[in-house]
Amino acid sequence: MWALVECCDLHAVEAGGRLCPTCGERGAPVQLQTVKALLTEAALRRLQLTPYRFCGNRTCDVVYFGDAGERFGSHGLRLPVWQKEPVGARLLCYCFGETEAVIRAELVEYGQTAVVDRIREHIAAQRCACDIRNPSGACCLGDVMAAVTHIDAMMLAAEDK
């Protein structure tokens, strides 16, 4: 349906990933600057200068884990992590404030949403900072596209009842 657009330069992130020490899921490498930007002051005091990974497992409280064994959960971040929040009104795009609620409202009112086009326009204008603002350290566009598909399917299923 939509092509994924690369908006962030992630050349500094190592390939692969290790397993989350809490849930065992493979963690995605994330830049140290992302971790530093999103940790609370108290959590930042525990930061080690080692590679970090992001755990996107919804049921796991760990958000970041590092090579030195440190773990940072949702309570140690300055903002909610959409992967860890209940479905409904989650913030999906940390650069431009796009939420599930906005997507749903547009689908209800217009039968479609322009969220993907809005984000693409910002990406083309080089306004995004996903590598720092998004807790996963990656572009949100794929997640937003998946959310549109999911919300649309849920709304259609609710209509069929």
As for how many domains the chain has, the answer is 2
- Provide the residue range defining the domain that includes 46: 28-76
Task: Name the pTM for this structure.
Answer: 0.84
Handedness of CA 97, 55, 66, 12 (dihedral sign): negative
- Domain assignment present for residue 4? The answer is no
What does the block give as tokens for 136?
A: 């996963």
Domain end (from 37, 52, 76): 76
Domain end (from 17, 52, 76): 76
Quick one: 147 and 128 in the same domain? yes
Quick one: 98 and 125 in the same domain? yes
Rounded average pLDDT over 125-147: 95
Quick one: 96 and 152 in the same domain? yes
Q: Residue 59: which region, alpha, beta or left (left: phi > 0; alpha: psi -120 to 50)?
A: alpha
Q: How confident is the model at residue 90 (pLDDT cuts 50, 70, 90)?
A: very high
Q: How confident is the model at residue 34 (pLDDT cuts 50, 70, 90)?
A: very high
What does the block give as tokens for 7?
A: 């908006």
